[in-house]
Structure 1
Amino acid sequence: MSSESLTAKAIRRGLFAVATTSVAAAGMYSQVSIAAEAEAQVERIEVTGSRIKRTDMETATPVTVMSADDMAKQGFTTIQDALQSLTSTTSAMTTQSVHGFTPAASSISLRGAGANRTLTLVDGKRLNQYPKPAGGTDNFVDTANLPMEAVERIEVLQSGGSAVYGADAVGGVINIILKKDFDGAALKYRHGDTTGGGGASDRIALSLGSSSEKGNVSTFIEFTNNEGLTAAQREKFGVHTDKVPHSEYSQYSSYGARIAGTGTGARQLSAQECTDGGWFWDEARSICGFDRSQWRDLEPESYRFISTTNFNYELNDDVAFVGRLDFAQAKSTTNIEPMAINDYDIKVNGNELTVSYGNQLSKTFADKTTALGGDFANATDGDYYYVRRLHEFDNRRGETNTRNYFFTVGLEGVLADEYNWDVSANYGRTNVDVFRSGYATVGSMFDYITAGENGNSLLKPMSSDDVEAASYSPFEQAQSTQKNIQANLTGMAFEMAEGDAYFAVGAEYTIQDYSTDTDSESKKGNILTTGGSSGAGERSYWATYAELSVPVLEELTVNAAVRYDRYDDMGGNFTPQVTVEYRPIDELLVRGSYSRVFRAPDMHRVYGDPTTGFSQVIDFKQCAALGGEPGVTHPDPTINEICNELHIDITTGANKDLEAETGYTANIGAVYGGDAFNATFDIWEWQLDDMVSDISASKAAREYELYEHMITRDDNGTITHINSVAQNLAYKKVSGIDLTAGYNWDLDSFGDLKLNFNGTYLINSESQLDPTSEVVDNIDEGGLPQYRFNLVLGYFVQDFEATLGAYHTARMHGVNYTSFKTDDVSESELEVASQTKWNLTAAYNISDEFKLTSGIVNLFDAGPNFDPTDTSWPHYPRSVYNARGREWFVEAEVKF
C-alpha cells in the first residue's frame, strides 16, 4: 500500500464523515476503454451500476456490454436494433406503430417494466424525455435519434438501479458510451435493402478528431435515409388484398360505402356501383367494403441527421475541462388508409328525414324521397347511419419533424492525488412538430351532407372541390426540456486489514418541463377519425446520495448505497440498496443485491389534458347479445362490425391525485471467468406497488363486467366511447433467470473461434388491478414471450472475420388468448409461433485504411409470426417482430 500525505488522510476522514451522513449514490458512467484496460496497468474504473471506482468489470449487479465492434459484426444498423436484440428486452416501441401517437420515435422495455421505467443515459448523463407520450400517457426517452457511429459501447444494467440512478431505473439502465479522443478522419458508407422490396436504407458517417498534448476534439456526423415499407410490398399482408391468409380473423374493412341502422329499405350499392365508386366489393359478405392493404405503411419513410462533438482540455495536471454538444434532426412520414366514418345519425320519421351529429348539429328535410340523393326514399321509420370510407381525401398522412439538442459542460479532476471528482451542467431540449393531412372536420362534413335543399348522398363519390372545401390539416407542436447540475466525488474512505474501503458521494438538481399543444379543432374533438393530445407541466427535484464499499473479509465485499429524492410535486423518499460480492476463488464471483424503488408518476399522467383518439375493438357484450361470435365473420354487417371491427372514440386522461410507485428489485447470481470459458447465472425479481397504468380499450371491452364504468353505450347497447384515466393499480411483480456463457478456441494459424450464448427466462409476471381483484398471469394473458436466447459464433483469421448470430423468441399466447380460449380450442391454435432469426456478416481489412463489410440480416426470411387471436391489422405483435424480411447490406470504411 502506497504511503499518503497527512493532507490526503485528513481529507479522507472528512469525506468519509460526509459519506456516512449523506444519502444514496447515483452513478454517472465515466468513459473507459475496456480493451485498453485489459492490456494496460490495473487502475480503478467506474462500472455502470455504481459510482465507486473499482478494478473489476464484474460487480454485484449484472451488466451486459455491447461494443461498437460487436454491434457491427451482428449486422445491427441502429442502436434500437442492438437494444431489441437483448434477451432482457421484453418489448419495444418502434416506427412500425404508424397508427400510434409516436410513429417517429422508438424505445424499449427491460424486464417487462415498460419504456418509462427504463433509464437511458449517454456518457452517464440523463437525456430529456420525448415530449409526445407513448399511447398518449407514458413519457420515455427516444432511442431513434441516438448516434450509431459515435458509440464506443453500450452498457446495460439488467437490474434495478433506483438507489444509484434515481426514480426511473426500475427495469434497468442503458448507458451509451461515446468514443473519446478520436484522432484523424474516417468516412463510412452503408447501403442496405430488403429482398422483398421496400425498406432500403443509406447511411453516411464522417468521423473527425484532433488531439494535442492538452486535449482532444472529436466530431461524429451521421446521415441516414430510410425508404418506407408498404403493406402492398409484402405478400403476407395482402398484395392487392386485405385478407391476410395466416389469420382467420383477417377480413376486408366493412367501412366501404353502405347504410346501416335499425330500419329497412335504405338504398344499398350493387357490386358494380361499389367498384365504380372506388371501393371494394366483398363477395364473401356481399357488402361494399374496402381494401386497406394498398394504403398502409408497415414502416415510414424517414431521414435523420445526427452530430455529436466531444471535447476535453487539461487546465492543469489535476483538472480537465470537458463537454459534449449534440444535435439531431429527423423527419418521418407515415401513411394509413383514408378516413372511415359512421358519425352522422339519420332518423326517418314518416316523410321527414333528420341528419344530426350528437347534440351539436341537426338539420331536418321535409321529403325523404328527395333528401340525400333519395337514399332513404323507401326506408321504414328508424335510425340509420352511413358507413363510409372517404377515399377521396386520400391517405391520412402524418409528417413528424424532430429536433434534438443536448449540451453538457463541466470539470473533472483529482484531489490530493486520492479522490476523483466531477461537476457538470447539462441541458437538453426536444422539439416535435407534427403536420397531418387527409382529414375533415365534423362541421365541414355535416355541411356537405346537408348542403342545399336536399343535401348529398354519401353513397356517391365526392368531387375534388367538395373534398377541398371539407378538408382540414391538423397539427401539433410539442417540446420538452431538462436542466440538470450534478457533482460527484469518489475515493478511498479508510484502510482495513482485508483491503481498502471506498466511497462515493454526490448531489444533483433537475428541472423538467414539457408542453404539447394541438390545433384548436383537434382539442375540441372536431376532427373526424383523429384526436389531439395536449398538456403542460414542470417538475423539479433534488437528490443527494452516498455509496460505501467495505471489504468485510478478503473474499467478501459489502456495498451499501442510499439516496434521497425530493420532488416538488410528490414529496421525498429514501431509497436504500445493499449488494454483496463473494469471491471464494479468483475465477468465481457470487453476488447478490437488494434495492428499494421509488418512482414518481410520468409528468403527462399528472399534468396532461385528456387525450382523445380512436380505436378498433370487439364489443364482446353486445356481440353475445346479438348472437354473434367474436372474431368470426357474420352475414349481418352490423353484427359483423360489432364482433370484429367496431370503431369507437377513446379518451385517456391525467390524474393529479396519483401517488408515487414504490417497490423493490433483487438479484442473486454467480460469475465464472476462466482463460477460455466464462459464464454468468442470475435470478432476479422486481415488484412495484401502486403501479401507475391504465386499462386499454380492447381490454375494457373484453372484460366489460370489471370495466363497465369506463364504457359508454348507445341506446342499442353498442359501445361508442371508452374513457381510461391513469390510476394506481395494486401491484406488478416480474421474476426471471439470466444465463450467459462463452468459449474461445485458439486455432493457432487458423485463427480464433468464439461462441457466446445469452438467454432470459421469465419465471413469473403477474399483476393486480386493485387489492380485491384477481391476480392476473401476464404470460398466460398473452403477448409476452416467456424466454429469449441469442447464440453468436465469430471466426477471426488475420484480416478476415465472419459472424453468424441466431436470435430466438419463444412461443407465446396471443393477445386475446383468454377471451378466445374454450374447451373446444387447443392452446396451440391460440399461440404465436416461435421464431429464430439468423444474421450473417463478413468483413475484410483490405489495408489499415480500408475495410469492406457485407452481410445478410434475417438470412432465412423468418417471420413475422402472426397472432391467431389478434383481430386487428397487421395481426402480429409489432412490439416483438417486424415485417422487413430478409435484408442485405454492404459497407465501406476509409480512414485518413
Structure 2
Amino acid sequence: MLFALIPAAVAAQDAPAEDEVKTLDRIEVTGTRIKTSEAEGLVPVQRITREDIDRSGLTSVADIIQSLTGSGSALNTKFNSSGNFGFPPDGSGVGAGSAQADLRHLGSKRVLVLVDGVRWVNEASASGVGSSTDLNTIPLAIIERIEVLEDGASSLYGSDAIAGVINIITRKDFEGISVNAQYGQYGEGDGATSSIDLAWGGSTDRANFFLGLSYTDQEVIYSRDREQSSFPVPGTGVAFGSSGTPTGRFIFVDPNTGEVLDITPNNGASDPTYDGSQIGCVRTDDYHCFSTADRFNFSQYNLLLTPSERMGAFGQVRFEFSDAVSGYAKVLYNRRESTNQAAPEPLFLGPEAGTGNPLADNIFISALNPYNPFGFDLDSATNLILIGRRPVEGGARVFEQDVDTWYVGAGLEGVFDAGQRTLYWDVNMAFSENKAEQTNYGSYNIRNIALALGDPAACAAVAGCTPLNIFGGPGTITPAMLAWIQPIVRDESQNELALFTANLSGSLFDLPAGSVDFAAGLEHRRLEGWYQPDALTIAGDYNGVPSLPTSGKYDVSELFFELNFPLLQDTEIGQKLDFTVAGRYSDYSTGISEFTPKYGLRFQLVEELVLRASYAEGFRAPSIGELFGSASRFDAQLNDPCDTPLLNPSLAGNCAALGVPANYQQPNPQISVTTGGNDQLDPESSTSFSAGFIWSPGFLEDSAWAERVDFEVTYYRHEIEGAIQAIDAQTQLDLCVQTLDALYCDGITRAPTGGINGFNNRLTNLGTIDTDGWDVDLFWVFPATDFGQFKASWRNTFVGDYRAVGAAGQVQPQGPGIEVVDSAIPEWTSNFTLDFKRGNFDAAWTLRHISELREECGRAVGFPVCSNPATGTNVLEAITYNDLQLGYRFEDYKDLRIAVGVNNVFDEDPPICLSCSLNGYDASTYDIPGGRFWYLRADIKF
C-alpha cells in the first residue's frame, strides 16, 4: 500500500516556479563527510557503476564485491556450510546461505557496509549472532553504484571500518519504468540462475520517488556432478573418507580374549571380493578388519552451489518542503530462502568419538540389545573404543533457511546561511532487523539413541522407544527406529540496529589558500541480537553440533569532526595542497571509550598529477556474538601429529608424554572444537596508512592515442593489535605436541586410548595482523572513430606481506601466496576489461587473473595429486578467467537492450585444493563449480 501511495502523493504536490528551486552543487563522497564539489581524489575509492554491474552477468552484490582485486575470502552461496563447518569462534554462526565481503584479507567483520551512507544491519545466521553484513539482503535492482573505500575509516564511520567501507548508493533520480530479466546456466546444464528486476521512478519539481522489485532464483549443483568434487580429497579416492560408514565400524576390546578389534561387516568393502587378506587380517566370521577401502565418500551428498531464492522490495520518496529543506523516507523488505545439504549424519560413539557430548562419548550398549551380535556389553568405561555408523536410512542432512530483512529510514536535510557562509545539515533515523530461521532435517537425538542401545527393559518403559540396530548395515534401521531417534531441529536468531545521526558541514573561515571546510556530527546506535537454538540442542540431546542460547545488547554514542585546511593555492611548488584531520569519540555502554583520529594530505602538483597520503587509527568493538556467545562447537578436520606413522619421528617422546600409546592411529580426523564468547574482550585497535598518486598525462589527453588516461598507484598498510579471534586449531594442536607447553595444551584432553576427546579453543585478543601491498590501476579511453570507441581498465592488487601472530608469538599459517583454512591470499590479482561501443552495439571482454598459491598436502602427500611430495606442498596453478558480453540496443522498441554473455569462456576449472574442507575447491577465491556460465539478458525501459 505504501508503494502504491508514494507516486500519488508526489504527483499531488504543487510545483513551484522553476527559478525557486535551489540546486545544490555539493556532494558527499565515501571517505569524507565534508560536502564539496571538489571531493574527487581525496581518498582511494573504487566505484562500481550500474553499467559495471550489468556487464558482469552476476546477480549478487557479494559476487560483484568478491571479484574485486582487493577482496579476500568470505562466505558466499558456494559454501555449503551447514552441517560441515559448525560454529565459528566469534559466535556469529555459520552464516549458511549468506554472502559477505572481505577487504584486504582482514575478515568480513572488519568491513563496514553502508547504504546511502547509513550503517546496514548485521546478519542473523540462525546459528549465532552475526558480526558481518549479508549482502544478499540488498537487491541489485535498487543500486545506482557501489563505492568501495579500501582504507581505514573509523574516525569517519565508527567501529568495524578497519579494512574499509562499502557504500551502496541507491537509485533516486530515476524516470520511467525499466524491466531487467536474465537467465543463465552452466555448460553442464545445471546451476540455472534467473532474475527479474523492476524499477519505477518519477518526479515533479519538488519531489521524486523510486520503487524497486527484485527476484532471483539460483538452482542447486551437486558435488557428485563434478569429477573434482566427487571425493573428499580429489585424487585420493575414499582414503580421506569418513569412518562413519553405512555398515558401521566397531573398535573395542574383546573381553573374552583381550584382543583389540577394529572390524566392519564384510558387505562394507568397496571391493566385493575383499576378505581382509589384503591387509593381513582374515576372519572366519561375517566381519573383516576395517581399512581405507571401507571409508565412506560423504562428498556425494554435498552441494557445490547452494539453492537460493531471494525476493526484495524497496521504495523511497524525496520531497523538497522549501528551497532550503527537504526530506526523505525509505523502506525495504527482503526475503531469502536457501538450502544447504550434507551427507547423512554419522553417529560416533565411545571415548574416541571426540564429540564433547557425554551421551555419545560415554555410551553403553547392552548385551541384551536384540541386535548386538557380540554377546557382551560394549561399555565406554571398559572395552568400547569407537563405533562409527552412518544411518543412510534417515537421508541427508538438509538445512533450510528463511531470512527476513526489514529497513525503515527517514530524514531531513537542508541548507542555511550563517553570515556569508552556507552550511549544510541533515538528521537521520533508521531501524533495521534481520531475522533468520533454520530448519534441520536428518539429524538425531543422542539421548534417545543411548536409551535405544541400552537395556531393552529401560527402553520398553518409555513410550515410543524402539531398540536400535546399528550393527546390521544399510536398510536395517526401520521407520519405527527412525521415528524414535530422528527429530526436526529448529533454530532462529535475530540482529537489530536502530540509529540516529545528525550532521553539519560547510565552511568556517578563509585562509590565503582558500576556505577551511568542516563536518561535524553525532550518532547514537543501539544494537541487539539473540540466538535461540532448538530445545533439544539446549538440553544437550542433539547429536549434531551443540550450542546454547546467546543474547546481548549495547548502545554507543559518538561525536565526530572533520576539517580540511587549504595550505597552498597556485604557488610555484604546486597548484593546491590540502591537509585534512578527522576524529571520532565513541562511548559504549559496555565500558569501552575510544578516540580515533585520521590525517590526510592531498597535493596537486600540476593539473595532471595529484599526490595523496593518509594515516588513520581505528578500532573494532567486540560484537554481540563475541561478547556474549555461549559455548558451542565446530567440527574441524585436524591431523593429529601423534598419528602413526609419525610425520615427525622426533615427536614420539612428546606423544608418549601426552598419553598417546605407540602405534596410535587417529580413527577420526573430524575433531570437535569447543568455542565461545568472552565478555572480557578488549576492542581491536588498528593503524592504517596509504600513499599514492593519480597521474593523468596531459600529452595523451585528446591525442591520436587517447581521449584520456588515468594512472593510479596506492600503497596500503594495515596493522591490527589485539585481533579478536582464536588461535588456529591445527596450529594450537601442533604447538602442543611440539612444545608440551600448557599455553597450548590446556584445553586439549585425550582419552585413555590416545585420541583427542576435548578441545577448547576460545576467543581472545590474539595478537597482531600486519598486511601491506599495492594497488596499481590504469584507465584508458581511446579516441572515438568511425569504427567505434574502446575503453580499457586494468586493476591490480599486489600483496606484499601478511602476517598474523598470536599473543604468545605463535605465527598463524596465513600469508601471501598461501592457501589455508578454505581461504587464500594471492600475491597478485588482476582484472582487465576492454569495452567497445559502436552505435547501438556494445561489447566487453574481461580477464580475471589469480596468481599461483601453495598449500600443505598433509596426509595426501603420498598421492600423485600432491604436486611436490618431497616438500609436502601442493601448488595451485595461476589461473586466468575470460568473460565476454555482447549487447545491442533497439531504440525503436522501448530502448530494448539484448545482451548475451559467457563467463569463463575457455572453460577453466579451478585448481585442486587438498586442504579445503569440502569439495576440493576454494569457494571464495575461484569460480565454482568450474566450467562456462552463459546467460541471456534483456533490459527494456518505458
Q: Into which bin does the TM-score normalised by the smaller protein fall?
A: 0.7 to 0.9
2:301 is aligned to 295
* Equivalent position of 2:694 in the other structure: 671
Q: Which residue pairs with 1:227 in the alignment? A: 219
Match of 1:29 in 2: none
> How far off is 1:499 after superposition?
1.6
Q: CA deviation at 1:199?
A: 1.2
Partner of 1:751 in structure 2? Answer: 788
1:683 aligns with 715
In 2, are the aligned partners of 1:853 and 1:890 still within 8 Å (CA)?
Answer: yes
Residue among 100, 106, 129 paired with 1:113: 106
Deviation digits for residues 276-312 of structure 1 (CA, Å, limit 9, x no counterpart): 99x9999994653323233111122121101111210
| Structure 1 residue corresponding to 2:170, chosen from 159, 178, 198 | 178
Counting matched residue pairs gives 835
2:58 partner SS: coil
Change (3 A) 1:640 1:849: farther
Moved more, 444-453 or 501-510: 444-453
Distance 1:532 1:789, change over 3 A: same
How do residues 575-590 of structure 1 correspond to structure 2 at under 5 angstroms?
575-590=596-611
Equivalent residue number for residue 437 of structure 1: 441
Cα distance between partner residues in 2 of 1:121 and 1:272? 58
Question: For the structure 1 residues 584 and 701, does the alpha-carbon distance in structure 2 shift closer, same or farther, using more than 3 Å as the test?
Answer: same
- Residue 338 of structure 2 corresponds to 332
Give the match for residue 516 of structure 1. Answer: 531
2:119 to 103, 126, 150: 126
Q: Which amino acid aligns with 1:543?
A: E
Give secondary structure in 1 for the equivalent of 2:405.
strand
- Runs (5+) with no aligned partner, structure 2: 1-21, 86-93, 280-290, 460-466, 570-575, 652-660, 702-707
1:141-188: per-residue Cα shift (whole Å, max 9, x none)?
Answer: 111221112111100001111111111100000001111022211122
Which residue is equivalent to 1:880? 925
Query: Are the aligned partners of 1:42 and 1:55 in contact in 2 as well (CA < 8 Å)?
Result: no
> What's 1:365 paired with?
367
Shift of 1:704: 3.0
Aligned partner of 1:612 in structure 2 is 633
SS at match of 1:445: helix
Residue of 842, 850, 853 corresponding to 2:886? 842
Q: 1:598 aligns with which of 599, 611, 619?
A: 619
Mapped to 1, the partners of 2:791 and 2:325 lie a distance apart of 41
The partner residue of 1:193 within 179, 182, 185 is: 185
Which residue pairs with 1:353 in the alignment? none
Counterpart CA distance in 1 for 2:565 and 2:479 is 77
Aligned 1:756-767 pairs, distance under 5 A: 756-767=793-804
For normalisation by structure 1, the TM-score amounts to: 0.87
Distance 1:805 1:280, change over 3 A: farther
In 1: Cα distance, 2:275 partner to 2:64 partner: 41
Partner residue, 1:142: 134
**Distance in 2 separating the partners of 1:229 and 1:481:** 33
**Cα deviations by residue, 1:220-257 (Å, 9 ceiling, x for unpaired):** 0001111111112212222xxx3654468964333212
User: Kindly tell me: are residues 186 and 359 of structure 1, through their superposed partners in 2, closer, same or farther at Cα, counting changes over 3 Å?
Assistant: closer
- Any conservation in 2 of the 1:589–1:672 contact (CA below 8 Å)? yes
Instruction: Indicate the larger mover: 793-802 or 93-102.
Output: 93-102
SS of 2:929's equivalent?
coil
CA contact (8 A) 1:790 1:805 kept: yes
Structure 2 vs 1, CA of residues 265 and 688 (structure 1 numbering), >3 Å: closer, same or farther? Answer: closer
What is the CA-CA distance between 1:61 and the residue it aligns to?
1.9
Residue in structure 2 matched with residue 857 of structure 1 by the alignment: 903
Aligned counterparts of 1:816 and 1:133: Cα–Cα separation in 2: 34
Residues 882, 519 of structure 1: CA spacing in aligned structure 2 closer, same or farther, 3 A cutoff?
same
Which range moves more in the overlay, 416-425 or 136-145?
A: 136-145
Conserved in 2, the CA contact under 8 Å of 1:515 and 1:534?
Answer: yes
Equivalent in the alignment of 1:530: 545
The 1-side partners of 2:277 and 2:137 are apart by 43
Secondary structure of the corresponding residue to residue 101 of structure 2 = strand
Which residue of the partner structure matches residue 560 of structure 1?
A: 581
Give the partner amino acid of 2:536: E
The separation in 2 between residues aligned to 1:133 and 1:329, in whole angstroms, is: 14
| Cα distance change on mapping 1:41 and 1:753 into 2, 3 Å | farther
2:732 aligned partner:
700
Quick one: percent identity of the two aligned structures?
A: 23
Q: Which of residues 252, 255, 278 in structure 2 aligns to 1:261?
A: 252
CA contact (8 A) 1:791 1:807 kept: yes
2:501 is the counterpart of 1:480:
no
Distance 1:651-1:192 versus aligned 2 partners, 3 A rule: same
Alignment of 1:714-733 (within 5 A): 714-733=751-770
Q: Mapping of 1:450-489 within 5 angstroms? A: 450=454, 452=456, 456-460=468-472, 461-489=476-504
Cα distance in 2 for partners of 1:892, 1:424 equals 37
1:30-109 residue pairs with structure 2 within 5 A?
43-99=25-81, 100=85, 101-109=94-102
Q: CA deviation at 1:138?
A: 5.8
Match of 1:236 in 2: 228
Deviation at 1:619, TM superposition (A): 1.5
* Residue identity in the other structure for 2:334: A
Q: Which moved more, 1:697-706 or 1:387-396?
A: 697-706
Name the CA shift for 1:737/1:318 in 2 (closer, same or farther; >3 Å).
Answer: same
Tell me the secondary structure at the aligned position of residue 469 of structure 1: helix
| Cα distance in 1, alignment partners of residues 112 and 275 from structure 2 | 47
Letter in 1 for 2:330: R
Contact 1:388/1:458 (CA < 8 Å) preserved in 2?
yes
Residue 3 of structure 1 is matched in structure 2 by none
CA distance in structure 2 between the partners assigned to 1:127 and 1:546 by the alignment = 22
Q: 2:55 and 2:839 mapped to 1: Cα distance? A: 16
The whole-number CA distance in structure 1 between the counterparts of 2:789 and 2:507 is: 40
Structure 1 residue corresponding to 2:848, chosen from 800, 804, 807: 807
Q: 3-state SS of the aligned residue for 2:169?
A: strand
1:672–1:432 Cα change, 3 Å: same
Name the amino acid aligned to 2:675: T
SS in 2 for 1:746: coil
Aligned to 1:778: 815
Q: Give the Cα–Cα distance (whole angstroms) in 2 for the partners of residues 536 and 394 of structure 1.
A: 33
> How far apart are residue 361 of structure 1 and its match?
5.8
Provide the secondary structure at the position in 1 that maps to 2:137: coil
Return the match for 1:423 from 418, 427, 435: 427
Q: TM-score by structure 2 length?
A: 0.83
Letter in 2 for 1:84: Q
Match of 1:832 among 869, 876, 879: 876
Q: Contact 1:406/1:426 (CA < 8 Å) preserved in 2?
A: yes
Structure 1 counterpart of 2:316, from 310, 313, 323: 310
Q: In structure 2, how many angstroms separate the alpha carbons of the residues matched to 1:62 and 1:509?
A: 28
